[in-house]
Chains A and B, each alone.
Chain A
Amino acid sequence: MTSPITVALVGNPNVGVTSLFNALTGSNNPVANYPRVTTSISSREITHDGRVMRVVDVPGIFSVNSQSPDEKIGQDYFNDQHPDIIVNVLDAGHLDRHLFLSTQLIETGIKRITVLNMIDEARRNGIVIDTKLMADALGSPVIATNGLTKEGVDDLKAAIAQLASSQEEPLARLRYDQHLEDAIARVQDHLDRLHPQKMTASRSRWLAIKLLEGDDDIIRQESDHPEFVSEISQERSNLEHTHDQDAATMLASARFAFAHGLLLEARQQEENAQDRFKLTRTLDNFFLNRTLGLPLLLAIMWIMFETTFSLGAIPTEWIKAAVDWSTKFVDGLLPEGMFHDMVVNGVMAGVGGTIVFLPNIVILFFFMAILSGTGYLSRASFLMDRIMHRFGLHGTTLIPMVAGFGCNVPAVMATNIISNKRARLIAILISPFMSCSARLPTFILFSGAFFSRFAGTVVFAMYMASIAAAMISAILLNRIIPGSGSDAFVMELPPYRIPTLHSVLHHMWDSAQGFVAKVTGVILAGSIVIWFLQEFPRDVAYSQDYNAAISTAAEQPESDARTETLRSLSAAQAQEKLEKSYLGRASIAVTPMVKPLGFSWHESSAIMTGFVAKEVVVATYAVIYAQEKGSSALTEAIAKAMPASTALAFMIFTLLYAPCMSTLTIIARETGSWKWAGVSLAYSLSFAWMLAFLFNKIGTMLL
Chain B
Amino acid sequence: MRARSDETSITLAELAPGQQGEIVGIDTDDGKLKRRMASLGVVPGAAITLDRTAPLGDPRMYTLMNANLGFRNTEAQIIQIRLKV
Q: Which residue of A lies closest to B68 (CB)?
A: A493
Task: Bits for B22-56, please: 1 = Cβ < 8 Å to A, else 0.
Answer: 00011000011111111111011110000111111
Across-interface contacts of B74 in A (CB, < 8 A): 488
The answer to whether B35 touches A291 (Cβ under 8 A) is no
Given contacts A248-B35, A386-B57, A395-B59, A489 and B46 within 8 Å (CB-CB): no
The answer to whether B67 touches A490 (Cβ under 8 A) is no
The answer to whether A492 touches B36 (Cβ under 8 A) is no
Looking at the complex, which one of B3, B40, B70 makes contact with A97 (CB distance below 8 Å)? B40
Q: Which residue of A lies closest to B1 (CB)?
A: A246
The answer to whether B71 touches A65 (Cβ under 8 A) is no
Is residue A175 within 8 Å, beta carbon to beta carbon, of the partner chain?
no
Q: How far is the CA of A557 from the CA of B43 in the complex (A)?
A: 97
Stretch binding the partner chain, chosen from A249-257, A349-357, A539-547: A249-257
Is residue B58 within 8 Å, beta carbon to beta carbon, of the partner chain?
yes
The answer to whether A66 touches B39 (Cβ under 8 A) is yes
Is residue A608 within 8 Å, beta carbon to beta carbon, of the partner chain?
no
The answer to whether B39 touches A249 (Cβ under 8 A) is no
Taking the closest CB of chain A, its distance from the CB of B66, in whole angstroms, is: 6
Taking the closest CB of chain B, its distance from the CB of A488, in whole angstroms, is: 5
Q: How far is the CA of A277 from the CA of B69 in the complex (A)?
A: 13
Candidate in B1, B3, B4, B61 with the most chain A CB atoms within 10 angstroms: B1
The answer to whether B70 touches A490 (Cβ under 8 A) is yes
Is residue A576 within 8 Å, beta carbon to beta carbon, of the partner chain?
no
Is residue A500 within 8 Å, beta carbon to beta carbon, of the partner chain?
no
Q: How far is the CA of A489 from the CA of B66 in the complex (A)?
A: 19
Across-interface contacts of B16 in A (CB, < 8 A): none
Taking the closest CB of chain A, its distance from the CB of B2, in whole angstroms, is: 9
The answer to whether B55 touches A62 (Cβ under 8 A) is no
Q: Which residue of A lies closest to B72 (CB)?
A: A489
Candidate in A93, A490, A493 with the most chain B CB atoms within 10 angstroms: A490
Across-interface contacts of A489 in B (CB, < 8 A): 59, 70-72, 75
Q: How far is the CA of A102 from the CA of B17 in the complex (A)?
A: 32
The answer to whether A490 touches B58 (Cβ under 8 A) is no
Q: Which residue of A lies closest to B44 (CB)?
A: A253
Q: How far is the CA of A260 from the CA of B35 in the complex (A)?
A: 19
Q: How far is the CA of A107 from the CA of B33 in the complex (A)?
A: 22
Is residue A565 within 8 Å, beta carbon to beta carbon, of the partner chain?
no
The answer to whether A248 touches B36 (Cβ under 8 A) is no
- The tally of residues in B whose CB lies under 8 Å from a CB in A reads 40
Task: Bits for A271-283, please: 1 = Cβ < 8 Å to B, else 0.
Answer: 0000001001000
Given contacts A214-B31, A490-B71, A62 and B59 within 8 Å (CB-CB): no
Q: Which residue of A lies closest to B37 (CB)?
A: A490
Q: How far is the CA of A381 from the CA of B46 in the complex (A)?
A: 26
The answer to whether A385 touches B72 (Cβ under 8 A) is yes
Is residue A382 within 8 Å, beta carbon to beta carbon, of the partner chain?
yes
Q: How far is the CA of A386 from the CA of B74 in the complex (A)?
A: 12
Given contacts A248-B35, A249-B43, A386 and B70 within 8 Å (CB-CB): no
Q: A interface, how many residues as a size bin?
A: 35 or more
The answer to whether B39 touches A294 (Cβ under 8 A) is no
Q: How far is the CA of A248 from the CA of B71 in the complex (A)?
A: 21
Q: Considering the complex, which residues of chain A in the window 273-328 have a beta carbon less than 8 Å from any beta carbon of chain B? A: 277, 280, 284, 288-291, 293-294
The answer to whether A386 touches B26 (Cβ under 8 A) is no
Q: Which residue of A lies closest to B45 (CB)?
A: A253
The answer to whether A240 touches B32 (Cβ under 8 A) is no
Given contacts A253-B43, A490-B33, A387 and B66 within 8 Å (CB-CB): no
Across-interface contacts of A67 in B (CB, < 8 A): 32, 35
The answer to whether B54 touches A385 (Cβ under 8 A) is yes
Given contacts A100-B39, A249-B25, A382-B54, A68 and B67 within 8 Å (CB-CB): no
Q: How far is the CA of A288 from the CA of B68 in the complex (A)?
A: 13
Across-interface contacts of A66 in B (CB, < 8 A): 32, 35-36, 38-39
Across-interface contacts of B4 in A (CB, < 8 A): 244-245
Taking the closest CB of chain A, its distance from the CB of B50, in whole angstroms, is: 13
Across-interface contacts of B51 in A (CB, < 8 A): 284
The answer to whether B68 touches A492 (Cβ under 8 A) is yes
The answer to whether A96 touches B65 (Cβ under 8 A) is yes
The answer to whether B40 touches A62 (Cβ under 8 A) is yes
The answer to whether A288 touches B52 (Cβ under 8 A) is yes
Taking the closest CB of chain A, its distance from the CB of B49, in whole angstroms, is: 12
Across-interface contacts of A240 in B (CB, < 8 A): 1
Is residue A94 within 8 Å, beta carbon to beta carbon, of the partner chain?
yes
Taking the closest CB of chain A, its distance from the CB of B56, in whole angstroms, is: 4
The answer to whether A280 touches B25 (Cβ under 8 A) is no
Looking at the complex, which one of B3, B32, B67 makes contact with A492 (CB distance below 8 Å)? B67
Taking the closest CB of chain B, its distance from the CB of A282, in whole angstroms, is: 12
The answer to whether A256 touches B43 (Cβ under 8 A) is yes
Q: Considering the complex, which residues of chain A in the window 545-602 have a beta carbon less than 8 Å from any beta carbon of chain B? A: none
The answer to whether B39 touches A252 (Cβ under 8 A) is yes
Q: How far is the CA of A244 from the CA of B70 in the complex (A)?
A: 28
Given contacts A244-B4, A385-B54, A94 and B66 within 8 Å (CB-CB): yes
The answer to whether B38 touches A490 (Cβ under 8 A) is no
Q: Which residue of B lies closest to A100 (CB)?
A: B39
The answer to whether B38 touches A387 (Cβ under 8 A) is no
The answer to whether A248 touches B58 (Cβ under 8 A) is no
Across-interface contacts of A290 in B (CB, < 8 A): 52-55
Taking the closest CB of chain B, its distance from the CB of A605, in whole angstroms, is: 46
Task: Bits for B58-85, please: 1 = Cβ < 8 Å to A, else 0.
Answer: 1101000111111110110000000000
Q: Considering the complex, which residues of chain A in the window 71-98 have a beta carbon less than 8 Å from any beta carbon of chain B? A: 93-94, 96-97
The answer to whether B39 touches A62 (Cβ under 8 A) is yes
Taking the closest CB of chain A, its distance from the CB of B40, in whole angstroms, is: 6
Given contacts A293-B55, A493-B61, A249 and B67 within 8 Å (CB-CB): no
The answer to whether B75 touches A68 (Cβ under 8 A) is no
Taking the closest CB of chain B, its distance from the CB of A295, in whole angstroms, is: 9
Given contacts A97-B67, A491-B69, A386 and B39 within 8 Å (CB-CB): no
Task: Bits for A476-507, please: 1 = Cβ < 8 Å to B, else 0.
Answer: 00000000000011111111000000000000
The answer to whether B43 touches A490 (Cβ under 8 A) is no
- Apart from A63-B39, A252-B38, A488-B74, what are 12 other A-B pairs with CB-CB below 8 Å? A63-B38, A248-B34, A256-B45, A288-B61, A291-B55, A385-B59, A386-B58, A389-B72, A395-B59, A489-B71, A491-B70, A494-B68
Of the A-B pairs whose beta carbons lie under 8 Å apart in the complex, a sample of 12, sorted by A's number, is A63-B39, A96-B66, A100-B39, A240-B1, A246-B34, A249-B3, A249-B26, A253-B44, A277-B68, A290-B53, A386-B55, A492-B68
